Amino acid sequence: MDFDLPQNIVAKLVELDAFIEAEIRPLEQENIKFFDHRREWARTNWEEDGRPSDEWRALISEMERRADRAGHLRLCLPESCGGQAAGNLMNAAIREHLSGKGLGLHNDLQDESSIVGNFPIVPAIARYGTDEQKVYIEGIITGERHLSFALTEPNHGSDATWLETRAVREGDHWIINGRKRWNSQVGRAEANLVFARTGGKDGEAKGITAFIVPTDTPGHTIVMNHWTFNMPTDHSEVELDNVRVPNSAILHKEGEGLKIAMMFIHENRIRQAAASAGAARYCITQAVKYAKDRVLFGEPLSTRQAIQFPLSELYAECEMVRNYIFRTAWKMDRQDPATFSHEVSICNYAANNLVCRAADMAIQVHGGLGYSRHMPFEHIYRHHRRYKITEGSEEVQKRRIAHTLFGFGAKEAS
Ligand SMILES: Cc1cc2nc3c(=O)[nH]c(=O)nc-3n(C[C@H](O)[C@H](O)[C@H](O)COP(=O)(O)OP(=O)(O)OC[C@H]3O[C@@H](n4cnc5c(N)ncnc54)[C@H](O)[C@@H]3O)c2cc1C
């Protein structure tokens, strides 16, 4: 067995580093208020219900334009979308590497924008969309025609198959009624991918249909924006009141909507895990460096076992988790991940849990400075804390592992 990253991946990481230094770092330095202690204030339009400010969005768009011009942004997308179908191992290695560099415009945490783009819905539209629907592919990549994702509801999150939104056929149209929660980026979206039950029973995956609903359709209303631990925020509550869409709004097939979400669930979970592992590595490295420099009671802080042991434990865990993530991503490139979904869940919950503890320890080792916004750890903690809830919460990942371990439960990933 060969545990080294393949040469093409190592070379790509070097190439990305050179690109960041040449084209992204200077832009970041010119706009440093978005990254230093003022970051939350600078990025947020407090008068617009805490949404990302136009200036912040414009800066991210410029980063993405530069990355696209250099051939990096679409690296992991299918070739039909101008991508290079780089695969899960390449994607995981890049996510880990970019997060391991700390905060920066190359890999924004709050927006999940990066020089190598995160566009989970794009491959699903490429695979299931009609020609008419495929116009969203380029729009999502360039940010000009964003498509948001509306599955979660006020009464149903982890148990999405119990959703209450209903769509009823009326001739060659559908009438949708319900309410969506945590509808990220719907505020800047041209259309919303709304999941509604059109058949089957509560709790069944079959019978849920995905509709592409233009956000200016009468009855589609953003009611409020949820303010979050990490600001700015773009996660709205949406009311669907007799929203009328044609049959052609269905993405994929009637009653088969959840297949779309299932298509990218594993890719999203491994990507998230790799980002968390990289951020954990960054927090541990920075804490070790500071402990060596900081002199307390006449000696470097690093000489104290009370500092060495927890950092050694985090380091050991980080090494194991990173290697398990790379091995799982490698396997995903060779075998349908649905057949080893629990292994992806292990990566996801372990890495997301680890990074929160690593960021907390980095805050502790840095003392009062660690608690300040002049250091990046509070921001890393606040962002990655979210991953213990979204994309399948920590408990949902463990539930998936238990299904395999004890041999019961649904076959599909939840
Ligand atoms: C910042 C952010 C962005 C988001 N963006 C989107 C988006 O764009 N589109 C979208 O559709 N959704 C989005 N979500 C929603 C996200 O997917 C849900 O928050 C998540 O699925 C959890 O659902 P919930 O919040 O309703 O919690 P619940 O499902 O109510 O769970 C509450 C708690 O119970 C635990 N739990 C659940 N089931 C079990 C069980 N069987 N055993 C033990 N414990 C259990 C959960 O892990 C959790 O800790 C977003 C959420 C956040 C915070």
pLDDT of residue 413: 52
For residue 202, name the pLDDT band (cuts at 50, 70, 90).
very high
* Domains in the chain: ranges and CATH: 7-127 (no CATH), 145-256 (2.40.110.10), 259-406 (1.20.140.10)
What tokens were used for 409?
A: 């439960």
Task: Kindly state the average pLDDT of the residues 55-71.
Answer: 97
CA of 343 to the centre of ligand 1 (A): 20
Would you say the CB of residue 152 lies under 6 angstroms from ligand 1? yes
State pLDDT tens for residues 16-46. 999 999 999 999 999 999 999 999 999 999 9
Residue whose CB lies within 8 A of the most ligand 1 atoms, among 386, 390, 406, for a mutation test: 390
Q: Is residue 263 very low, low, confident or very high in pLDDT (cuts 50, 70, 90)?
A: confident
**Strand partners for 189:** 146
Which atom of ligand 1 approaches the CA of 156 most closely? 26
Q: Three-class SS of residue 235?
A: strand
- Dig out the tokens for 324 from the structure: 């398990």
- Model confidence pTM above 0.85: yes
**Residue 60 C-alpha to ligand 1 middle, in angstroms?**
27
- Going from the Cα of 168 to the center of ligand 1, the distance in angstroms, rounded, reads 26
Pick the atom of ligand 1 nearest to 185's CA. Answer: 8
pLDDT surpasses 60 at 411: no
Which of 61-75, 109-123, 161-175 comes out lowest in average pLDDT? 109-123
* 414 pLDDT above the threshold of 90: no
pLDDT band at 151 (very low <50, low <70, confident <90, very high): very high
Average pLDDT score over residue span 251-277? 94
378 a catalytic residue: no
Distance 390 CA to ligand 1 centre (A): 6
Place of tokens 């865990």: 317
Q: Phi, psi at residue 118, to the nearest 5°?
A: -105, 100
149 C-beta closer than 6 A to ligand 1: yes
Q: Is 393 in the pocket of ligand 1 (CB under 6 A)?
A: yes
User: Residue 215 has what pLDDT?
Assistant: 98
Average pLDDT over the chain, rounded to an integer: 96
Is a pLDDT exceeding 80 seen at residue 110? no
Does residue 395 have its Cβ closer than 6 Å to ligand 1? yes
Q: Is the pLDDT of residue 337 over 60?
A: yes
Which candidate in 391, 394, 395, 412 is catalytic? 391
Q: Which residues of 88-102 are buried (b: 16+ CB within 10 A; e: fewer)?
A: bbbbbbbbbbbbbbb
Helices (H) and strands (E) in the chain, counts: 13, 12
pLDDT score of 291 more than 70? yes
Q: Are strands 146-150 and 189-197 parallel, antiparallel or unpaired?
A: parallel
- CA-based nearest residue to 176, from 118, 139, 218: 218
Encode pLDDT of 245-255 as tens digits: 999 999 999 99
